[in-house]
Amino acid sequence: MKTALLRFLVRWYQASDQNLPPWLDRACQRTPSLAATLQEEALLSSRLRAHPRQADIAPSPFLKSKVLHTLTREAVDRDETAPAARWTMPSAAVAGALALVLLLAAVWLSREPAGSGVSDRPALAAVTPHPTPLPAPVSVAQQIPQNWANPLDAEMASVVADADRAVRFLASAFLPSESVERRLRRPTSG
């Protein structure tokens, strides 16, 4: 693992054209595989820095005109087809949405109102022959004591008080003192 990391560092220093640090240079002298990696990377860097050979193949004199003709022809074709393609997708989306709305409206308006519990559909009549009556209302007010206080009211009062203290702290920390005094004086409701 250590050798792989040192090999990576040797390659990185060689690729970045920096001298090896002394500790890495000593490691390359001690380890033959690192020394071989250093020589390979030095050879690769020198070959990459060398000037490339000039190509013996001359480009066709008509290459430039062919490329320009192709580019202008594609631009003309794109401009001719663009208006049709520009309106195709939005028009299809609007038509699809309109068809969906009309279908939903037709289904909604064609349904029958709920009957008085008797259905003309035999499968539905077999499952629910008569509507189920609602249970009698239960009087909960008699079970609540007179001195009962809603715990959420106390929680909301604590949240409001905490927020008020936070605003006062931020105002005292970040606003000039005379403006804090004026702005934070507000009537308190009792």
pTM summary value: 0.29
Residues sharing a CB contact under 8 Å with residue 20, sequence separation 6 or more, in sequence order: 10, 13, 28, 38
pLDDT at res. 100: 93
Q: Percent helix, strand, coil in the chain (nearest 5)?
A: 70, 0, 30
Cα 90 to Cα 70: distance, rounded to the nearest angstrom = 30
Mind listing the pLDDT tens digit for each residue in 28-49?
Answer: 899 999 999 999 988 888 888 8
In this predicted structure, the answer to whether residue 73 has a pLDDT above a threshold of 50 is yes
Which residue, among 170, 166, 168, has the nearest Cα to 158 in the 3D structure?
A: 166
Whole-number Å distance between alpha carbons of 123 and 132: 18
- What is the C-alpha separation between 105 and 11, in angstroms, rounded? 71
